[in-house]
Amino acid sequence: MTATVERRPPETVMTLARMGSFHQSRLSFMRTLLRRMKAERWTFDRPCFDIDEAGVGMALYSATTAERTYTLVAFAHDLPDEMRSDRVIATQWDTTFTLHDGVPSEADIERLRANVPLQEAGRISESELTLSRANRSTRLFSYVVEELAAGRQPDAAAIDGVGYLMRTTAVYGSGKFGAADRAVIADRSEFEAPFQVEMLTVYLIRAFVLDLVEHMASLASDHAVPLEPAVRRRFGIGNSTGLGMAPFLLTHPRLINNWIAAREEALARVRSIERATTDEIDCFGSHLQRIRHTLAAWHTNHPIQLQKIGELSTDLDRLDVYVEATDLSQRSAWDALATWSGEALSLEGQELVVSLLLEPYGHLVDELTATMHADESTPITIDGSLTIAEMQTRIEQQYRWALSIDWSSSSADARAWYVSQEKLEPRLGERHLEPITEFEQPLQPGRDAVRMLDDLRRWPDHATLATFLRSHPEHRHTARRTLLLAHAPYGEICDNTIDAAMLPIDLLRAKLSFFGATHFDPRSDRWVRITMYQGAPFPHELADADPDSWTYSVAC
Amino acid sequence: MDLDLSLGEFEALAAKALRGTGYSWGAATDGAHAALVLAQNGLPAAEIALRLVTHVEYHGPGTSVLQNPSSGRATAPICAVTYGAALSDLAGAAPDLVASVAKSRPVIEPLLLAPFLTNCVIGWADGSVCVTHRGIELNGSIPVGAVHITIDFDGYAGTDLEDGCAVRSHKGSTRAVVTPATYWSLQAFAARTYAPASKQSRSSGAGAD
């Protein structure tokens, strides 16, 4: 389908405040994976589950496509409560995992047993695709084991108050710690869409965690009961994500462009629909009602997110009134709704409307997931034949938003991104308070573009970019980025990433929403807890389940 | 025991080592990708990268001036990454000039120049590399340090940008095997890009209360 309504411009979409209000959608990577697994009739197995009453041991979970098998190798440990930490500086975890490419041999398992529990301090090989770990929820894990052991189902409110039994604190892929590079698996259709390996890992981890809690209950009591299926599905997998993820959106402009462009194209296609059918209107209305249950289960103590949830609640009231008063079968009703939401709702509300509008239109938008990957294996060539005047024009057009910032203000460059010596993780420091400027990473494209423009203006218009860069190699990364943006209009965040008021959680929210995460719970301005796969069918249920509808809560 | 690095790990290490030696972020990206391509072609990329940063550490990066063909033979050595990036940039501006300026001069670790070019033969006293779309083929010894090279574009059209990539990737090796000594030496250069942890940074990361 060709959209007749134009996509929203990058300057509108790519602000941090809006990106920090994105919600999961049909294009989210978890949903992409579940649709594929169901459509291709993947089979799942648990060839090994050797865990003792203390929760210590090993398990294997396999997922088999028509051509290959992938195996989650899970190690469960007995971790004292005082050792449990979500920090990247932690050295022990309740459970550790790797996704093995194939069926592991005994030798593979012994190799992994010696390395996977060490996480960053160990090494995995090209036969492994991810490395991960998870910690128990101190609030919920023991409670659920005890309830099941006593022959009772856990209380639904207690489950929904947390949403998960374990939360992952890292899911490393793409060559990290010796794992296979993305290029090794990029030509496999099942991993064409972004982050499918990581999403598969977490999906199998969830199955393991629920099996583990039932297993521990059964070992504790002869009267133990398993979780009822509907109760079981209420558990997702938690995740704690911090600054380590934040630079990703800045260092992968081609990939981010493709994610956002797909989402904007999907919205444009729906807005271009001349008349919605009754089924489509009903589908939209059903999801609009169900989102209220999701909202009711969205818990946070963070003041900014609390305010946003409050605004979203008001938005839903307004949306209900609008939908009630509007004939959605009239011409261009979706376009009118999207236009209205941009004027009447908060950013949270506007972006939720985007997700809701896509729900009835899988046949129009799901195919766009095939456009969301990017080959980032080769840096783009710098066209040195461009003149100084041409390069100035490009920067002035593509970084118009940055030119309006007073970069001489101390608040405009208050922060600096750097990598800490201690854990080799990205950090965001206070430039004017800490000695970090000399270690600054190139994660402030707006400021760097303005600096390059200042130097370009001192050169003759007819000189070439090639000549300029030989004298100013410090602008080489900006030149390359600017040229890239001509082909990747959604590749740049149109905001100051080192401003005193910048919120790293906005970067995290944007990326995690594309994963399909829900229940964003910021714990500070730079790390967030989320829930993944809450409500999703388990591997043994997938063949008979809807791979999409689980993402919106249903009433208790 | 040698380390078996993913190419992503190796490229990131090379980029940080180059940056730690003083290269700009953009040049470090170019140089690291060139090292990656050498690794993909089965060449000892980590050792070459280490020699480059070590040479630059003690002798500086050499000149950044490209010799005008009318001024005769260039004598000042130039770093392969700086030279390769400049030739890549020039390919769009003045393809004919590339063939002219590139012909003969001393280059520091010239194998790293190969990934920036294609359809040429880079030669030195006792060896050469043939660079084509199929890959990088070494004949003879590996050049070490600042070596006088010639680039023969005869029969070719100069630096080829037809697919938009001056630095090519070749399918070949998917890993970089690195000796511990080389690895830790590169890490020492890379470590210069890391800031000492502060109390504030520790207290603001993920999972902090």
B4-59 pLDDT per residue, tens: 999 999 999 999 999 999 999 999 999 999 999 999 999 999 999 999 999 999 98
Instruction: Parse chain A into domains and list their residue ranges.
Output: 10-20+252-366, 40-242+532-551, 388-485
Test B26 with A184 for CB contact under 8 angstroms. Answer: no
Is the pLDDT confidence value at A221 over 70?
yes
pLDDT at residue A344, rounded to an integer: 98
| Listed residue (B47, B42, B2, B46) closest to B174, CA to CA | B42
Burial class (CB in 10 A: 0-12, 13-18, 19+), A251: middle
ipTM: 0.93
Tokens representing B207 are: 């999972």
Spatial distance between the Cα atoms of B28 and B186, rounded to a whole number of angstroms: 13
> With bands split at pLDDT 50, 70 and 90, how would you rate the model's confidence at A100?
very high
**Residue among A382, A422, A425 whose CB faces B89 most closely:** A382
Question: Please, what is the average pLDDT of chain A?
Answer: 95
**Residue among B6, B23, B195 whose CB faces A439 most closely:** B195
Interface A:B, Cβ pairs < 8 A: 191
Test A380 with B165 for CB contact under 8 angstroms. Answer: yes
Place of tokens 């690895």: B183
Q: Say yes or no: B199 contacts chain A, CB-CB below 8 A.
A: no
Q: Strand pairing partners for B206?
A: none
**Residue among B27, B197, B206 whose CB faces A244 most closely:** B206
Tell me the percentage of chain A whose pLDDT exceeds 70.
99
Q: Quickly list DSSP for A249-316.
A: HHH-HHHHHHHHHHHHHHHHHHHT-SS--HHHHHHHHHHHHHHHHHHHT-----HHHHHHHHHHHHHH
Is the pLDDT confidence value at A461 over 70?
yes
Interface of B with A in 7-46 (CB under 8 A): 7-9, 23-27, 29-30, 33
Q: What is the 3-state secondary structure (H, E, C) of A395-419?
A: HHHHCHHHHCCCCCCCCCCCEEEEE
Torsion sign, CA atoms A129, A134, A140, A146: positive
Test A428 with B204 for CB contact under 8 angstroms. Answer: yes
Test B24 with A380 for CB contact under 8 angstroms. Answer: no
Q: Strand pairing partners for A60?
A: A48, A73
Query: B126: distance to nearest CA of chain A, Å?
Result: 31
Who contacts B199 (Cβ-Cβ below 8 Å, separation ≥6)?
none
Average pLDDT of the residues in A510-527:
94
Kindly provide the residue ranges of all beta strands, DSSP E only, lying in A5-91, ordered along the sequence.
Answer: 43-51, 57-64, 69-76
Spatial distance between the Cα atoms of A533 and A203, rounded to a whole number of angstroms: 7
Residues of A whose CB is below 8 A from B94:
385, 466
Tokens representing A183 are: 């290029």
pLDDT at residue B159, rounded to an integer: 44
Residues of A whose CB is below 8 A from B8:
174-176, 181-182
Q: Do residues B129 and A338 lie in contact, with contact meaning Cβ atoms separated by under 8 Å?
A: no
Instruction: Parse chain B into domains and list their residue ranges.
Output: 3-65+72-193
**pTM of the predicted model as reported, rounded to 2 decimal places:** 0.94
Test A480 with B29 for CB contact under 8 angstroms. Answer: yes
Torsion sign, CA atoms A388, A394, A399, A404: positive
**Residue among B26, B90, B194 whose CB faces A476 most closely:** B26
Question: Please, what is the average pLDDT of chain B?
Answer: 84
Q: Which helix (H) or strand (E) holds A445?
A: helix A445-456
Interface of A with B in 77-116 (CB under 8 A): 85-90
The 8 Å CB, 24+ separation contacts for A452-457 are A452/A395, A452/A478, A452/A479, A452/A482, A453/A392, A453/A395, A453/A396, A453/A399, A453/A403, A456/A388, A456/A391, A456/A392, A456/A395, A457/A392
Residues of B whose CB is below 8 A from A527:
205-208
- How many helices and strands, by DSSP H and E, does chain B display? 7, 9
Pairing of strands A415-420, B194-195: parallel
